[in-house]
Amino acid sequence: MSKMNANQHRKSMLNSAIVMNAVKESFLKLNPVVMMKNPVMFVVEAGTLVVLLMTVFPGYFGTENSVGFNFTVFVILLFTVLFANFAEALAEGRGKAQADSLKKTKQEITANKIVNNGSGIKVVPSTELRKGDLVVVSQGEMIPGDGEVIEGLASVDESAITGESAPVIKEAGGDFSSVTGGTRVVSDKIKVRITSDPGESFIDRMISLVEGAKRQKTPNELALNTLLTSLTLIFLIVVVTLAPIAGYLEIRLEIPVLIALLVCLIPTTIGGLLSAIGIAGMDRVTQFNVLAMSGKAVEAAGDINTMILDKTGTITYGNRMASDMLPIGSERIEDLAGWAAVSSIKDETPEGRSVLEWMKKQGLSYDEALGEGGEFIEFKAETRMSGIDLADGRKVRKGAVDAVKQWVIAQGGIIPADLESRSNAIASEGGTPLAVAVDQRLYGLIYLKDTVKPGMKERFEELRRMGIKTIMCTGDNPLTAATIAREAGVDDFIAESKPEDKIAVIRREQAEGKLVAMTGDGTNDAPALAQADVGLAMNSGTVAAKEAANMVDLDSDPSKIIEVVAIGKQLLMTRGALTTFSIANDVAKYFAIIPAMFTLAIPQMEALNIMRLGSPMSAILSALLFNAIIIPLLIPLAMKGVAYKPMTASRLLSRNIVVYGLGGVIVPFIGIKLIDLIVNVWM
């Protein structure tokens, strides 16, 4: 299944089955225990129950003459509550549909567990595996649980998780050793150390996330909920005290009329849609193949000021590949390439393999027999070199220029004059030079190039328009770092950075009151990912990076942070826009109901009846009907979110005040008037 098809599948999850289930859930959610979690709609439900009792027992309440009106009010209030429940159930239904599709990947998988101190293999169900267990996974087998490759190299099909059909290479060591349970090995064989216990795997966390019923409310959502509850309480006090005040003026206000007034004045629109907005926001994140550990991380993404990006594997592909050979002094490229190949015969690193691949592409040959019987020298951080000691006594070395240079000098060799200029030229172009030497003789340089991922410059320009500053952190030298930064289009860079340098940058930005996002994929990125307000780890990265972050990108695309930021902003904007619209609605409904209630007793109130509604009863019913109808009409907007375009916060605020503030006043005036015309005909 291609990534496009996977995304289309996710977006098409709003089907008839989900809608029908949401209708059923709308009635089940009428349970007062459930409704109490939403104070605004709980008040509406309580009012609905009171009006129902007055309709069923009119003699007891002395409302025999207004049974028809009471019944109409009851029906409208009931649908108001049901529409609010439907919005939440619909959002939850999409999440549960995604969870069901993920659960299909959690089929019972058997695992080849290594037992008896590595001397035997025991086939066990994957559910019996525990953190630290070792398993062997061969071609065609499913990886039984989250883990990291500790031996071997294999091509892995991750389409069940990411939707990307192209297999990815996983190998021991480095930043591409992490594997996910439920994915399939396409070729070769690997030994995997399990890193999660049952119920704690990657898929388990995704299922828990997308099942909206288990979603915890974010701080922003809790604050808004508190505000809505406070407004509801204030209007409740106002309406309760209105009855005795009206009685003093010899105006008789029926309880259903007071309940209708209360429902129209409290922020029912945003109260009914608030939960759906939050659930839908999390749903949109998963549609982009991003696993967010909490809603708080998504909201924080919407307020990001600074973004710290690791270079290797994030801005660039990460695997430095041989792209050229540069002989120095009087050496020939054929000799340089030959010795470079000999030094790479037993080198299983991506760099080593790329040297042999470059030789094939160039049609150059080398003497493979030279490597037979030789002792391979692995790369070490202390020596910064690798190579081979040949059977005839010669020593071949390949590694960092200064390290190989010192090694040649120690052997009694002479360094060609153009070594430094040639290596600086490679570094200035964003490449990494590797020197190749045999005993006392330095033959030249291998030009390793880490390519910037396509489209990065345009993506960073988009971030700039959002007002987000981008900083690239890399362990490369300043020349290489400057070239990559210029090619990628980031605002700033930090060269030769260590893990503590990344944390220092994040803390410095945070000390200035800024929210910081960090993307990375390596173990050395883990501390910075944990420190950042939003940490986005690449799925192709290490287990440590993914555990430290509060978001994981399943596609391992660092530019995905732009979508995450946009979704975060969209979530905040949608909540703010609908809150503005809801409160603005109340202003218009005030002009509909208040004059209708008091005009007969106080003729001067007619001046406020600017809508010129037909009668007091039709005005109340029209306002109540509009209040109910507007909720389902706004469900698509709550689910999809307010359209976001990169612009400054002040421009966004101005636009939304005009569109949703002014629109929130105008739309009810038009809507209530049209409904009133119909109600008058009906009455």
- Check if the beta carbon of residue 315 is closer than 8 Å to that of residue 453: yes
Question: What pLDDT sits at residue 88?
Answer: 84
- Check if the beta carbon of residue 271 is closer than 8 Å to that of residue 84: yes
- The span from the CA of 586 to the CA of 600, in Å, is 23
Distances (CA, A) of 5 to 8, 107, 129: 5, 22, 33
Nearest alpha-carbon partner for 284 in 4, 638, 546: 638
Give 11's pLDDT tier (boundaries 50, 70, 90): very low
Burial class of residue 673 in the structure, from the number of CB atoms within 10 Å of its CB (0-12 exposed, 13-18 middle, 19+ buried): middle
- The span from the CA of 479 to the CA of 483, in Å, is 6
Per-residue pLDDT averaged across 174-201, rounded? 80
Distances (CA, A) of 571 to 13, 102, 648: 20, 24, 16
Q: Is 311 annotated as a binding residue?
A: no
Token pair 């979603």 is found at 215
- Is 368 a residue whose pLDDT tops 90? no
pLDDT digit string, tens, across residues 227-238: 888 989 998 998
Neighbour-count burial for 350-389, b at 16+ CB within 10 Å, e otherwise: bbbbbbbebbeeeebebeeebbeebeebebeeebbbbbbe
- The span from the CA of 510 to the CA of 506, in Å, is 6
Token pair 């509604």 is found at 613
User: Residue 643: CA atoms inside 13 Å, Cβ hemisphere, count?
Assistant: 3
Which of 160-169, 184-193, 314-323, 610-619 is the least confident region?
A: 160-169
- Check if the beta carbon of residue 243 is closer than 8 Å to that of residue 259: no
Cα dihedral sign for 390, 393, 396, 402?
A: positive
Looking at residue 48, what DSSP letter applies?
H
Cα dihedral sign for 526, 528, 530, 532?
A: negative
Q: Of 203-212, 241-250, 286-295, 460-469, where does the model show the most confidence?
A: 460-469
Per-residue pLDDT averaged across 455-465, rounded? 83
Which of 145-159, 162-176, 425-439, 466-480 is the least confident region?
A: 162-176
Read off the tokens for 221: 């959502």
Task: Give the three-class secondary structure for 667.
Answer: helix
Nearest alpha-carbon partner for 611 in 666, 570, 655, 651: 666
Give 126's pLDDT tier (boundaries 50, 70, 90): confident
CA angle 279, 530, 470 (to 5 degrees): 85
Looking at residue 646, what DSSP letter applies?
S
Nearest alpha-carbon partner for 30 in 68, 77, 97, 67: 77
- The span from the CA of 427 to the CA of 60, in Å, is 91
CA angle 409, 412, 416 (to 5 degrees): 55
- The span from the CA of 588 to the CA of 623, in Å, is 9
- Check if the beta carbon of residue 169 is closer than 8 Å to that of residue 155: yes
- The span from the CA of 574 to the CA of 659, in Å, is 12
Q: Which of 157, 175, 283, 310 is catalytic?
A: 310
Q: Is 382 annotated as a binding residue?
A: yes
Looking at residue 66, what DSSP letter applies?
G
- Is 595 a residue whose pLDDT tops 90? no
Q: Is 521 annotated as a binding residue?
A: yes
The neighbour count for residue 233, using CB atoms within 10 Å, is 13
Count, residues in the chain: 683
Read off the tokens for 448: 């390793």
- The span from the CA of 48 to the CA of 238, in Å, is 19
- The span from the CA of 351 to the CA of 322, in Å, is 7
Higher pLDDT, 266 or 199: 266
The region that residue 305 occupies, defined by phi over 0 for left and psi between -120 and 50 for alpha, beta otherwise, is alpha
- Is 105 a residue whose pLDDT tops 70? no
- Check if the beta carbon of residue 623 is closer than 8 Å to that of residue 589: yes
- Check if the beta carbon of residue 551 is closer than 8 Å to that of residue 545: no
Question: What pLDDT sits at residue 65?
Answer: 64
- Check if the beta carbon of residue 541 is closer than 8 Å to that of residue 522: yes
Q: Is 335 annotated as a binding residue?
A: no
Q: Is 525 annotated as a binding residue?
A: yes
Q: Is 347 annotated as a binding residue?
A: yes
Q: Is 385 annotated as a binding residue?
A: yes
Read off the tokens for 123: 């086939």
Nearest alpha-carbon partner for 79 in 628, 675, 661, 671: 628
- Check if the beta carbon of residue 283 is closer than 8 Å to that of residue 91: yes
Question: What pLDDT sits at residue 18?
Answer: 80
Higher pLDDT, 628 or 570: 628
Task: Give the three-class secondary structure for 461.
Answer: helix
pLDDT digit string, tens, across residues 75-99: 999 999 999 999 888 877 766 666 6
Distances (CA, A) of 291 to 41, 64, 299, 553: 31, 58, 14, 6
Q: Is 178 annotated as a binding residue?
A: no
Cα dihedral sign for 432, 437, 442, 443?
A: negative
Q: Which residue stretches of 542-615 are H helix?
A: 543-548, 561-598
CA angle 343, 352, 386 (to 5 degrees): 50
- The span from the CA of 501 to the CA of 301, in Å, is 22
Type and span of the H or E element at 95: helix 67-103
Q: Is 519 annotated as a binding residue?
A: no
- The span from the CA of 557 to the CA of 453, in Å, is 9
pLDDT digit string, tens, across residues 309-342: 877 666 777 667 888 999 998 899 999 999 999 9
Token pair 């600074």 is found at 306
The neighbour count for residue 17, using CB atoms within 10 Å, is 11
Q: Is 64 annotated as a binding residue?
A: no
Token pair 């590694």 is found at 399
Question: What pLDDT sits at residue 313?
Answer: 63
Contacts of 83 (CB under 8 A, 6+ apart): 26, 272, 628, 631, 632, 635
Distances (CA, A) of 575 to 22, 178, 184, 267: 22, 37, 41, 13
- Check if the beta carbon of residue 218 is closer than 8 Å to that of residue 295: yes
310 is catalytic: yes
pLDDT digit string, tens, across residues 141-181: 888 888 888 888 888 877 656 555 457 778 787 667 788 88
- The span from the CA of 198 to the CA of 203, in Å, is 11
Q: Is 398 annotated as a binding residue?
A: yes
